[in-house]
């Protein structure tokens, strides 16, 4: 039996006729754009930014060309440009003055993120400010929570993450984004926000975050490499995707508003499954390693960087992401504007 008959239900007579010419709608750019299924938009992007203490400080991250550690004054300048380009949102990562075992600068109301958010909301009020909630940039050991013996403990850590989230909300953050992957943290954060009357601040949780080699350059940028061990006791095993559905479902039960899959490219299948299953607002994080590989190959002349960038971003959206966190946001925004 003819296989196509089985899958598409065409009769043999149909196949005897002139074959379908799927190329017809590809012949001109006008036709191609008429039938295009996925359109990237500026409204999809969130640009990650790294904030450091000090003034007039702007230092490029060695492994991430075009990405800088910025002091608050430089952050404001950068965000004015981001806003002017039409990018709706940024996500902030902080590098604190001081690190200790409890990551106490993470929930210090005068910490780097809290200070940066207050300044940003004052200067550029309508730029959406997302704050990453984690302890790894703030702990002396570089882990995302409290370490006891050989264990990164869960329940005591989520209490601190909730405190951190509250200080971000108090500073004026628009969206809270926990990236730790501990159990129960979305509920802990929702509870503390609600108890303090921040009923309308959404949570965008890193729901299916994998223990990935693609975070390498980020850890240079955020100075958050663990001093011992790794993150495999809380981040997901790259081999699993059913488990990602459980992680996402659990975050939804606990009250998340936007679910995130991270990294993006090696997990496009997971993005699609999550979108199909839950139809939630879905974000994907096109992480540092994904960015740096394209930058490096582009600089070597091995690939056409702008073209590959747009292809990758489009593929993430095609897979089902509504929101893309990407270091390419400014480059892509410029290209999208040129095209118009
Ligand atoms: C943790 C955090 C990480 C990233 C975002 N939030 C690093 C990690 O889990 O080690 C990685 C982002 C990237 O690679 O671009 N606070």
What pLDDT, on the 0 to 100 scale, is given for residue 20? 85
Best mutation site among 46, 103, 134 for ligand 1 pocket (most ligand atoms within 8 Å of CB): 134
* Residue 113 neighbours by CB distance under 10 Å: 28
In a domain, 230, yes or no: yes
What pLDDT, on the 0 to 100 scale, is given for residue 1? 45
Mean pLDDT of the chain: 95
Does 132 sit in the ligand 1 pocket, CB within 6 Å?
Answer: yes
Does 267 sit in the ligand 1 pocket, CB within 6 Å?
Answer: no
What is the pLDDT confidence band of residue 13, given thresholds at 50, 70 and 90? low
Domain range for 98 is 39-339
Ligand 1, atom nearest to 226 Cα = 10
In a domain, 15, yes or no: no
What are 94's strand-pairing partners?
A: 51
Helix (H) or strand (E) holding 189: helix 185-195
Mean pLDDT of the region 55-74 = 97
pLDDT at residue 4 is higher than 80 = no
Ligand 1, atom nearest to 291 Cα = 15
In a domain, 187, yes or no: yes
pLDDT at residue 3 is higher than 70 = no
Ligand 1, atom nearest to 225 Cα = 10
Does 254 sit in the ligand 1 pocket, CB within 6 Å?
Answer: no
pLDDT at residue 11 is higher than 90 = no
pLDDT in tens, 90-137: 999 999 999 999 999 999 999 999 999 999 999 999 999 999 999 999
In a domain, 98, yes or no: yes
In a domain, 11, yes or no: no
Structural domain count, the chain: 1
pLDDT in tens, 175-203: 999 999 999 999 999 999 999 999 999 99
What pLDDT, on the 0 to 100 scale, is given for residue 16? 64
In a domain, 26, yes or no: no
Task: Extract long-range pairs of 69-76: CB within 8 Å, 24+ residues apart.
Answer: 69/95, 69/221, 72/112, 72/115, 72/116, 72/119, 75/49, 75/51, 75/116, 75/119, 75/120, 76/119, 76/120, 76/123, 76/124
pLDDT at residue 307 is higher than 80 = yes
Annotated active-site positions, please? 209, 262
Q: Give the CATH number, domain containing residue 232.
A: 3.20.20.70
What pLDDT, on the 0 to 100 scale, is given for residue 143? 93
Entry pTM: 0.94
Does 182 sit in the ligand 1 pocket, CB within 6 Å?
Answer: no
Instruction: Kindly state the percentage of the chain with pLDDT values over 90.
Output: 90
- Give dist(CA 127, CA 122) in Å, integer: 10
At residue 299, what are phi and psi to the nearest 5 degrees? -65, -30
pLDDT at residue 9 is higher than 80 = no
What is the pLDDT confidence band of residue 225, given thresholds at 50, 70 and 90? confident
CA of 289 to the centre of ligand 1 (A): 10
In a domain, 311, yes or no: yes
- Give dist(CA 172, CA 129) in Å, integer: 8
* Residue 163 neighbours by CB distance under 10 Å: 18
In a domain, 19, yes or no: no
Mean pLDDT of the region 51-78 = 97
Does 180 sit in the ligand 1 pocket, CB within 6 Å?
Answer: no
CB 245, CB 284: distance < 8 Å: no
pLDDT at residue 294 is higher than 90 = yes
Q: Quickly list DSSP for 60-95.
A: EETTEEEEEEE-HHHHHHHHHHHHHTT--EEEEEE-
pLDDT at residue 8 is higher than 70 = no
Does 215 sit in the ligand 1 pocket, CB within 6 Å?
Answer: yes
Mean pLDDT of the region 28-36 = 97
Q: What SS3 state is found at 210?
A: strand
Helix (H) or strand (E) holding 48: strand 45-51
- Residue with the larger pLDDT of the pair 17 and 165: 165
């Amino acid at each position: 039996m003819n296989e196509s008959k089985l899958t598409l239900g065409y009769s043999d007579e149909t196949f005897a006729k002139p074959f379908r010419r799927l190329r017809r709608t590809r012949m001109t750019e006008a036709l191609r754009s008429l039938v295009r299924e996925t359109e990237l938009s500026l409204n999809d992007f969130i640009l990650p930014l790294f904030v450091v203490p000090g003034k007039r400080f702007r230092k490029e991250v060695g492994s991430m060309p075009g990405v800088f550690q910025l002091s608050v004054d430089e952050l404001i300048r950068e965000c004015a440009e981001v806003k002017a380009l039409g990018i709706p949102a940024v996500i902030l990562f902080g590098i604190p003055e001081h690190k200790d075992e409890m990551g106490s600068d993470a929930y210090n109301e005068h910490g780097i993120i809290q200070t940066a958010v207050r300044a940003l909301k004052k200067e550029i009020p309508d730029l959406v400010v997302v704050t990453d909630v984690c302890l790894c940039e703030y702990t002396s050991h570089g882990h995302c929570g409290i370490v006891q013996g050989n264990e990164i403990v869960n329940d005591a850590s989520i209490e601190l993450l909730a405190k951190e989230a509250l200080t971000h909300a108090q500073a004026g953050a628009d969206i809270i984004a926990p990236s730790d992957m501990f159990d129960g943290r979305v509920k802990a954060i929702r509870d503390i926000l609600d108890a303090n009357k921040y009923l309308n601040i959404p949570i965008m949780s890193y729901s299916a975050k994998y223990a990935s080699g693609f975070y390498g350059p980020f850890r240079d940028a955020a100075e958050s490499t663990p001093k011992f061990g790794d993150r495999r006791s809380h981040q997901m095993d790259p081999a699993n995707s059913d488990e990602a559905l459980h992680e996402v479902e659990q975050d939804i039960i606990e009250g998340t508003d936007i679910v995130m899959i991270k990294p993006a490219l090696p997990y496009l299948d997971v993005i699609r499954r999550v979108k199909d299953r839950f139809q939630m607002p879905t974000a994907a994080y096109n992480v540092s390693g994904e960015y740096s590989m394209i930058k490096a190959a582009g600089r070597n002349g091995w690939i056409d960087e702008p073209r590959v960038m747009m292809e990758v971003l489009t593929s993430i959206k095609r897979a089902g992401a509504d929101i893309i966190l990407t270091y390419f946001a400014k480059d892509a925004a410029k290209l999208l504007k040129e095209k118009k």
